[in-house]
Amino acid sequence: MWNMIRLILLFLCLPLMLRAAETRVLFLGDSITQDGRWATLVEGALRNTDAYRDAEIVNMGLGSETVSGLSEDGHANGKFPRPDLHERLGRVLAAYKPTLVFACYGMNDGIYLPLDPQRQAAHVKGATRLKEAVEKSGGRIIFLSAPLFMPDTPEKDAQGYDKVLDAYAAWLVSVQAEGWETVDIRPDLKRAVADAKAKDSAFIYAKDGVHPGGDGHRFIADAAAKGLWPLLKLPGAPVLPTGDALKILSERAGVLEYAWLSETKHLRPGVKAGLPLDEAKKRADELMVRYKEAAK
Protein backbone atom coordinates (compact mmCIF):
# COMPACT_ATOMS: atom_id res chain seq x y z
CA MET A 1 0.00 0.00 0.00
CA TRP A 2 2.83 2.42 0.96
CA ASN A 3 4.62 1.69 -2.31
CA MET A 4 1.46 2.54 -4.21
CA ILE A 5 1.14 5.85 -2.33
CA ARG A 6 4.77 6.71 -3.12
CA LEU A 7 4.21 5.98 -6.81
CA ILE A 8 1.14 8.23 -6.86
CA LEU A 9 3.05 11.03 -5.11
CA LEU A 10 5.94 10.64 -7.55
CA PHE A 11 3.55 10.82 -10.49
CA LEU A 12 1.94 13.97 -9.11
CA CYS A 13 5.28 15.67 -8.39
CA LEU A 14 7.02 14.65 -11.61
CA PRO A 15 5.87 17.72 -13.64
CA LEU A 16 7.20 20.03 -10.91
CA MET A 17 10.49 18.12 -10.77
CA LEU A 18 10.88 18.32 -14.54
CA ARG A 19 10.16 22.05 -14.57
CA ALA A 20 12.70 22.60 -11.79
CA ALA A 21 15.35 20.78 -13.81
CA GLU A 22 14.51 22.47 -17.10
CA THR A 23 17.40 24.27 -18.77
CA ARG A 24 16.43 27.76 -19.90
CA VAL A 25 19.18 29.69 -21.69
CA LEU A 26 19.01 33.43 -22.32
CA PHE A 27 21.21 35.60 -24.55
CA LEU A 28 21.43 39.28 -23.60
CA GLY A 29 23.33 41.95 -25.48
CA ASP A 30 23.12 44.87 -27.89
CA SER A 31 22.39 45.00 -31.63
CA ILE A 32 25.15 42.51 -32.49
CA THR A 33 23.35 39.97 -30.31
CA GLN A 34 19.88 41.04 -31.43
CA ASP A 35 21.00 40.38 -35.02
CA GLY A 36 20.79 36.73 -34.02
CA ARG A 37 23.45 35.19 -36.20
CA TRP A 38 26.24 34.48 -33.71
CA ALA A 39 23.75 33.57 -30.96
CA THR A 40 21.95 31.08 -33.22
CA LEU A 41 25.25 29.48 -34.23
CA VAL A 42 26.13 29.01 -30.55
CA GLU A 43 22.62 27.69 -29.89
CA GLY A 44 23.09 25.11 -32.62
CA ALA A 45 26.43 24.03 -31.17
CA LEU A 46 24.80 23.64 -27.75
CA ARG A 47 21.95 21.61 -29.25
CA ASN A 48 24.52 19.21 -30.66
CA THR A 49 25.19 18.11 -27.07
CA ASP A 50 23.08 15.89 -24.85
CA ALA A 51 23.00 18.52 -22.10
CA TYR A 52 21.33 21.19 -24.26
CA ARG A 53 19.61 19.20 -27.01
CA ASP A 54 16.13 19.99 -25.69
CA ALA A 55 16.87 23.16 -23.74
CA GLU A 56 14.74 26.26 -24.12
CA ILE A 57 17.05 28.87 -25.65
CA VAL A 58 15.98 32.45 -26.34
CA ASN A 59 17.87 35.50 -27.57
CA MET A 60 16.65 38.81 -26.11
CA GLY A 61 19.42 41.10 -27.34
CA LEU A 62 18.30 44.68 -27.95
CA GLY A 63 19.83 47.20 -30.33
CA SER A 64 21.67 50.23 -28.88
CA GLU A 65 21.43 48.82 -25.35
CA THR A 66 24.07 49.27 -22.66
CA VAL A 67 24.65 47.62 -19.30
CA SER A 68 26.24 50.87 -18.08
CA GLY A 69 23.11 52.99 -18.41
CA LEU A 70 25.04 55.63 -20.39
CA SER A 71 23.94 57.38 -23.55
CA GLU A 72 25.57 60.08 -25.65
CA ASP A 73 23.89 63.38 -26.46
CA GLY A 74 21.91 63.17 -29.68
CA HIS A 75 21.80 59.39 -29.86
CA ALA A 76 19.66 58.25 -32.80
CA ASN A 77 19.51 61.87 -33.97
CA GLY A 78 17.97 62.82 -30.66
CA LYS A 79 14.99 60.49 -31.07
CA PHE A 80 15.68 58.37 -27.97
CA PRO A 81 18.50 57.63 -25.51
CA ARG A 82 20.24 54.29 -25.52
CA PRO A 83 18.16 51.64 -23.75
CA ASP A 84 19.46 50.66 -20.31
CA LEU A 85 19.33 46.90 -19.74
CA HIS A 86 18.38 47.44 -16.11
CA GLU A 87 15.12 49.12 -17.09
CA ARG A 88 13.82 45.81 -18.48
CA LEU A 89 15.98 43.24 -16.69
CA GLY A 90 13.55 42.56 -13.84
CA ARG A 91 10.71 41.89 -16.26
CA VAL A 92 12.88 39.61 -18.39
CA LEU A 93 14.09 37.53 -15.45
CA ALA A 94 10.64 37.26 -13.89
CA ALA A 95 8.94 36.24 -17.14
CA TYR A 96 11.53 33.92 -18.69
CA LYS A 97 13.22 32.55 -15.52
CA PRO A 98 16.56 31.65 -17.13
CA THR A 99 18.82 29.09 -15.55
CA LEU A 100 21.79 30.22 -17.66
CA VAL A 101 22.48 33.67 -19.11
CA PHE A 102 25.08 34.66 -21.71
CA ALA A 103 25.66 38.43 -21.60
CA CYS A 104 27.64 40.28 -24.29
CA TYR A 105 27.92 44.00 -23.55
CA GLY A 106 30.56 46.68 -23.92
CA MET A 107 30.32 47.85 -27.51
CA ASN A 108 27.96 50.72 -26.61
CA ASP A 109 28.97 51.16 -22.98
CA GLY A 110 31.84 53.55 -23.59
CA ILE A 111 29.58 55.52 -25.98
CA TYR A 112 32.35 55.59 -28.62
CA LEU A 113 34.64 57.96 -26.70
CA PRO A 114 38.20 57.49 -25.40
CA LEU A 115 38.84 55.41 -22.29
CA ASP A 116 37.51 57.21 -19.23
CA PRO A 117 37.54 55.98 -15.60
CA GLN A 118 33.98 57.12 -14.92
CA ARG A 119 32.54 55.46 -18.02
CA GLN A 120 34.44 52.26 -17.27
CA ALA A 121 33.19 52.38 -13.67
CA ALA A 122 29.62 52.65 -14.98
CA HIS A 123 30.24 49.57 -17.15
CA VAL A 124 31.66 47.65 -14.18
CA LYS A 125 28.78 48.71 -11.92
CA GLY A 126 26.20 47.73 -14.52
CA ALA A 127 27.78 44.32 -15.14
CA THR A 128 27.93 43.72 -11.38
CA ARG A 129 24.26 44.62 -11.01
CA LEU A 130 23.42 42.24 -13.84
CA LYS A 131 25.36 39.39 -12.21
CA GLU A 132 23.68 39.99 -8.85
CA ALA A 133 20.20 40.12 -10.39
CA VAL A 134 20.65 36.89 -12.35
CA GLU A 135 22.10 35.03 -9.39
CA LYS A 136 19.40 36.33 -7.06
CA SER A 137 16.80 34.94 -9.49
CA GLY A 138 18.47 31.52 -9.30
CA GLY A 139 20.38 31.66 -12.59
CA ARG A 140 23.99 31.35 -13.65
CA ILE A 141 25.63 34.03 -15.80
CA ILE A 142 28.60 33.93 -18.17
CA PHE A 143 29.89 37.21 -19.59
CA LEU A 144 31.41 37.55 -23.05
CA SER A 145 33.60 40.47 -24.04
CA ALA A 146 32.52 42.85 -26.79
CA PRO A 147 33.48 42.12 -30.43
CA LEU A 148 35.85 44.29 -32.45
CA PHE A 149 35.52 47.95 -33.42
CA MET A 150 36.70 49.07 -36.87
CA PRO A 151 39.24 46.26 -37.44
CA ASP A 152 39.06 46.87 -41.21
CA THR A 153 40.04 50.55 -40.92
CA PRO A 154 41.89 50.95 -37.60
CA GLU A 155 43.45 54.18 -38.85
CA LYS A 156 39.98 55.76 -38.72
CA ASP A 157 39.47 54.84 -35.06
CA ALA A 158 40.33 58.38 -33.97
CA GLN A 159 39.04 57.88 -30.42
CA GLY A 160 40.98 54.65 -29.93
CA TYR A 161 37.70 52.96 -29.13
CA ASP A 162 38.88 49.42 -29.82
CA LYS A 163 41.42 49.97 -27.03
CA VAL A 164 38.50 50.91 -24.77
CA LEU A 165 36.95 47.53 -25.54
CA ASP A 166 40.31 45.87 -24.85
CA ALA A 167 40.27 47.50 -21.40
CA TYR A 168 36.73 46.33 -20.70
CA ALA A 169 37.71 42.81 -21.77
CA ALA A 170 40.80 42.87 -19.56
CA TRP A 171 38.58 43.73 -16.60
CA LEU A 172 36.34 40.76 -17.40
CA VAL A 173 39.36 38.49 -17.42
CA SER A 174 40.60 39.95 -14.12
CA VAL A 175 37.37 39.19 -12.23
CA GLN A 176 37.68 35.50 -13.01
CA ALA A 177 39.83 35.45 -9.88
CA GLU A 178 36.75 36.60 -7.94
CA GLY A 179 34.62 33.75 -9.25
CA TRP A 180 33.09 35.44 -12.28
CA GLU A 181 32.61 33.22 -15.33
CA THR A 182 33.81 35.11 -18.39
CA VAL A 183 34.97 34.50 -21.95
CA ASP A 184 37.19 36.99 -23.76
CA ILE A 185 36.35 36.42 -27.44
CA ARG A 186 38.55 39.26 -28.68
CA PRO A 187 41.95 37.49 -29.08
CA ASP A 188 40.47 34.65 -31.16
CA LEU A 189 38.33 37.14 -33.08
CA LYS A 190 41.36 39.28 -33.94
CA ARG A 191 43.24 36.22 -35.16
CA ALA A 192 40.31 35.06 -37.27
CA VAL A 193 39.97 38.48 -38.94
CA ALA A 194 43.74 38.68 -39.54
CA ASP A 195 43.75 35.19 -41.09
CA ALA A 196 40.78 36.05 -43.32
CA LYS A 197 42.52 39.22 -44.52
CA ALA A 198 45.73 37.30 -45.18
CA LYS A 199 43.79 34.93 -47.43
CA ASP A 200 41.73 37.68 -49.09
CA SER A 201 42.90 41.29 -48.89
CA ALA A 202 39.37 42.43 -49.77
CA PHE A 203 37.81 40.71 -46.75
CA ILE A 204 35.62 43.03 -44.65
CA TYR A 205 34.61 42.11 -41.10
CA ALA A 206 32.15 44.99 -40.57
CA LYS A 207 31.24 47.49 -43.27
CA ASP A 208 30.19 50.12 -40.74
CA GLY A 209 32.96 49.29 -38.29
CA VAL A 210 30.57 47.87 -35.68
CA HIS A 211 28.11 45.33 -37.08
CA PRO A 212 29.80 42.20 -38.48
CA GLY A 213 28.80 40.45 -41.66
CA GLY A 214 28.08 36.74 -41.86
CA ASP A 215 31.72 35.67 -41.59
CA GLY A 216 32.20 37.97 -38.61
CA HIS A 217 29.25 36.44 -36.79
CA ARG A 218 30.69 32.97 -37.39
CA PHE A 219 34.04 34.14 -36.02
CA ILE A 220 32.27 35.46 -32.91
CA ALA A 221 30.38 32.18 -32.50
CA ASP A 222 33.58 30.15 -32.91
CA ALA A 223 35.36 32.19 -30.25
CA ALA A 224 32.36 32.17 -27.90
CA ALA A 225 31.74 28.44 -28.16
CA LYS A 226 35.44 27.67 -27.71
CA GLY A 227 35.42 29.58 -24.43
CA LEU A 228 32.05 28.29 -23.25
CA TRP A 229 32.77 24.59 -23.71
CA PRO A 230 35.15 24.18 -20.73
CA LEU A 231 33.00 26.40 -18.50
CA LEU A 232 29.94 24.28 -19.29
CA LYS A 233 31.98 21.08 -19.06
CA LEU A 234 30.79 19.91 -22.46
CA PRO A 235 32.54 17.02 -24.25
CA GLY A 236 34.48 17.28 -27.47
CA ALA A 237 34.68 20.41 -29.57
CA PRO A 238 31.71 22.63 -30.49
CA VAL A 239 30.19 22.02 -33.91
CA LEU A 240 28.34 24.99 -35.39
CA PRO A 241 25.23 24.31 -37.50
CA THR A 242 25.16 24.80 -41.25
CA GLY A 243 22.78 24.41 -44.19
CA ASP A 244 19.08 23.73 -43.69
CA ALA A 245 19.51 23.07 -39.97
CA LEU A 246 20.93 26.55 -39.46
CA LYS A 247 18.25 28.14 -41.63
CA ILE A 248 15.43 26.51 -39.66
CA LEU A 249 17.03 27.24 -36.30
CA SER A 250 17.51 30.89 -37.30
CA GLU A 251 13.83 31.18 -38.20
CA ARG A 252 12.85 29.62 -34.88
CA ALA A 253 15.18 31.89 -32.93
CA GLY A 254 13.71 34.97 -34.61
CA VAL A 255 10.13 33.92 -33.84
CA LEU A 256 10.93 33.52 -30.14
CA GLU A 257 13.19 36.55 -29.92
CA TYR A 258 10.66 39.12 -31.04
CA ALA A 259 7.80 37.45 -29.19
CA TRP A 260 9.75 37.61 -25.94
CA LEU A 261 10.95 41.16 -26.57
CA SER A 262 7.34 42.22 -27.01
CA GLU A 263 6.14 40.14 -24.06
CA THR A 264 8.69 41.73 -21.71
CA LYS A 265 7.83 45.23 -22.94
CA HIS A 266 11.17 46.73 -23.95
CA LEU A 267 11.07 50.48 -24.60
CA ARG A 268 13.29 50.80 -27.67
CA PRO A 269 11.51 52.37 -30.68
CA GLY A 270 11.81 50.78 -34.09
CA VAL A 271 11.80 47.11 -33.08
CA LYS A 272 9.23 45.02 -34.90
CA ALA A 273 6.44 43.52 -32.83
CA GLY A 274 6.57 39.81 -32.19
CA LEU A 275 3.82 37.25 -32.29
CA PRO A 276 1.75 36.66 -29.15
CA LEU A 277 3.86 34.38 -26.97
CA ASP A 278 1.55 31.34 -27.11
CA GLU A 279 1.43 31.55 -30.90
CA ALA A 280 5.20 31.98 -31.08
CA LYS A 281 5.79 28.93 -28.88
CA LYS A 282 3.53 26.82 -31.06
CA ARG A 283 5.40 27.93 -34.18
CA ALA A 284 8.73 27.32 -32.43
CA ASP A 285 7.68 23.76 -31.56
CA GLU A 286 6.85 23.08 -35.20
CA LEU A 287 10.20 24.47 -36.31
CA MET A 288 12.05 22.42 -33.68
CA VAL A 289 10.66 19.23 -35.21
CA ARG A 290 11.92 20.33 -38.61
CA TYR A 291 15.28 21.38 -37.15
CA LYS A 292 15.88 18.00 -35.53
CA GLU A 293 15.15 16.26 -38.79
CA ALA A 294 17.52 18.53 -40.68
CA ALA A 295 20.23 18.21 -38.03
CA LYS A 296 20.35 14.40 -38.16
Identify the domain containing residue 247 by its residue range.
22-295
213 found inside a domain: yes
Interval 39-65: pLDDT, tens: 999 999 999 999 999 999 999 999 999
> Rounded distance, CA 173 to CA 184, Å?
7
pTM over 0.85: yes
Interval 170-208: pLDDT, tens: 999 999 999 999 999 999 999 999 999 999 999 999 999
> Rounded distance, CA 27 to CA 36, Å?
10
The rounded Cα 98 to chain-centroid distance in angstroms is 13
Average of per-residue pLDDT across 239-257: 98
86 found inside a domain: yes
The pLDDT value given to residue 11? 42
pLDDT band of 220, cuts 50, 70, 90: very high
14 found inside a domain: no
6 found inside a domain: no
Indicate the helix (H) or strand (E) that contains 140: strand 140-144
Domain harbouring 272, CATH code: 3.40.50.1110
Q: Write the CB contacts of 267 (distance below 8 Å, at least 6 apart in sequence).
A: 83, 87, 88
9 found inside a domain: no
pLDDT higher than 70, residue 116? yes
Interval 7-36: pLDDT, tens: 444 444 433 333 335 899 999 999 999 999
Number of compact structural domains in the chain: 1
User: What residue spans of 153-206 are helical by DSSP H?
Assistant: 161-174, 186-199
pLDDT band of 87, cuts 50, 70, 90: very high
Interval 69-85: pLDDT, tens: 999 999 999 999 999 99
